[in-house]
Amino acid sequence: MKIIAEIGTSHGGNLEKAKRLIDCAVESGADYVKFQWVYADEILHPDTGFVNLPTGKIPLYQRFKELEVKPSFFEECLKYTHEKGALFMCSPFGIRSLEELLSIKPDAVKIASPELNHIPLLKKLAELRKNQNIPLVISSGVSHLSDIEEALSILGRENVTLLHCITSYPAPEDEYNLNLIPNLSRVFGIPCGVSDHSLDPVLVPSIAAALGGTMIEKHITLSKETDGLDDPVALTGEQFALMSHCIRQCEAAFRQYGENAKGYILKQLEEEYGERVEKIMGDGVKKLAQAEEANYGRTNRSLHFMRSMKAGEVINMEDIGVLRTEKILSVGLHPRFLDKVIGAKLTRDVEKGAGLQWEDFTIHN
């Protein structure tokens, strides 16, 4: 099982802190060190709402703006990661970050759950992968089976790993439904693992390993008390090392007992955690977890007006953003309809940030 230490944006734009996080990840047993290539306008509209931080309530868009760094930052992180003997993975959030990411030749690209339906991004990635068959990891939080199928129909399945995920921070262990790991692998014919946002460093990762997961992703932090967006749900280095040790113990069990190792591992976990193990395994049917039901459509992407416009105006590409709706804006049309929207004429006035609706425009063939 490959272990991903998700640094994300916990570095806060500070290169020295990023290097300390890389050191922590590698020393704690990570195979991959992962970052997020953030440009705020690829993710959110400026009017998307607020986020509560220890320093107060601030606009979420502005928080992402503060996390923007130059490409040279990631070049240095990639170089340093390689020097430490690990692999470099990163998530892009739009076309610009994708192209800049591929230009530094990462070891793998990760598509995060909210971008699973970012159709323009997926199409561009599929185009660029034709000449550079870089390993690809995609997360499937806050999604239906049809969403995964559509994404894979664009990206293909060669050199792709799927991560089951619950998009909730923290994610309740009991809702993880880890029997999805072997089921999704069979359905799509690709390796499957888990992106884990639960707080326990042992339970979800160990059960995932027992069920044949090939990859585990967990956030890592230097301290849960710092102001990184994901720091409260991340593992400290000591916790991450414990997780890595448990996963390697599961692998050793498979080497010793073969397929019988699954029962052996689960029995050991049940002796310590009781009936929680069975609950975490779930029924293996793909559905939205209760913790993420309210986020479907809001956390993932839809079409939004970038400026206020008047009835009669024609919609151009620069007028539309493929964005996360998040806090207060209205959810728009699915990104798959972007091509139909461009060139359409507005039938009524619209406000900046609002999600596009079919009633907003007419399409002229």
Domain containing residue 312: CATH number: 3.90.1210.10
pTM: 0.95
Are residues 264 and 167 both part of a single domain? Answer: yes
Are residues 28 and 130 both part of a single domain? Answer: yes
Are residues 271 and 354 both part of a single domain? Answer: no
Are residues 40 and 164 both part of a single domain? Answer: yes
Domain boundary among 272, 291, 310: 291
At residue 192, the pLDDT reads 98
Are residues 81 and 14 both part of a single domain? Answer: yes
| Integer Cα distance of 39 and 199 in angstroms | 28
Of 248, 223, 242, which Cα lies nearest the Cα of 234? 223
At residue 57, the pLDDT reads 74
Are residues 111 and 182 both part of a single domain? Answer: yes
Domain boundary among 273, 291, 309: 291
| Integer Cα distance of 136 and 110 in angstroms | 6
| Integer Cα distance of 189 and 146 in angstroms | 15
Query: In 3-state terms, what secondary structure has residue 58?
Result: strand
Are residues 301 and 284 both part of a single domain? Answer: no
Of 186, 306, 305, 210, which Cα lies nearest the Cα of 258? 210
Are residues 341 and 256 both part of a single domain? Answer: no
Cβ neighbour number for residue 360 with a 10 Å cutoff:
23
Domain boundary among 266, 291, 316: 291
Of 93, 98, 74, which Cα lies nearest the Cα of 18? 74
At residue 47, the pLDDT reads 92
How many domains are contained in the chain? 2
One digit per residue, pLDDT tens: the chain, 365 residues? 999 999 999 999 999 999 999 999 999 999 999 999 999 999 999 999 887 655 567 788 988 999 999 999 999 999 999 999 999 999 999 999 999 999 999 999 999 999 999 999 999 999 999 887 899 999 999 999 999 999 999 999 999 999 999 998 889 999 999 999 999 999 999 999 999 999 999 999 999 999 999 999 999 999 877 767 778 889 999 999 999 999 999 999 999 999 999 999 999 999 999 999 999 999 999 999 999 998 898 999 999 999 999 999 999 999 999 999 988 899 999 999 999 999 999 999 999 999 999 999 998 65
CA distances for 161 relative to 122, 143, 195, 209, 282, angstroms: 15, 16, 11, 15, 21
Of 127, 141, 137, which Cα lies nearest the Cα of 298? 141
At residue 56, the pLDDT reads 64
Q: What is the CA radius of gyration of the chain?
A: 21
Question: How far apart, in Å, do the first and last CA atoms of the chain sit?
Answer: 51
Handedness of CA 130, 132, 133, 137 (dihedral sign): negative
Strand partners, 355: 304
H helical segments located in 71-218: 71-83, 95-103, 119-129, 145-155, 180-188, 203-210
At residue 229, the pLDDT reads 74
Query: In 3-state terms, what secondary structure has residue 21?
Result: helix
Q: Which domain holds residue 199?
A: 2-291
Handedness of CA 155, 160, 164, 165 (dihedral sign): negative
Are residues 279 and 350 both part of a single domain? Answer: no
Are residues 68 and 117 both part of a single domain? Answer: yes
What DSSP element (H or E) covers 57? strand 56-59
Are residues 320 and 270 both part of a single domain? Answer: no
| Integer Cα distance of 292 and 215 in angstroms | 22
Helix, strand, coil % over all residues of the chain, rounded to 5: 40, 20, 40
What CATH number is attached to the domain comprising 115? 3.20.20.70
Mark 42-55 as b/e (b = at least 16 C-beta within 10 Å). bbbbebbbbbeeee
Say how far residue 149 (Cα) sits from the centre of its chain: 17
Are residues 151 and 115 both part of a single domain? Answer: yes
Amino acid found at 67: L
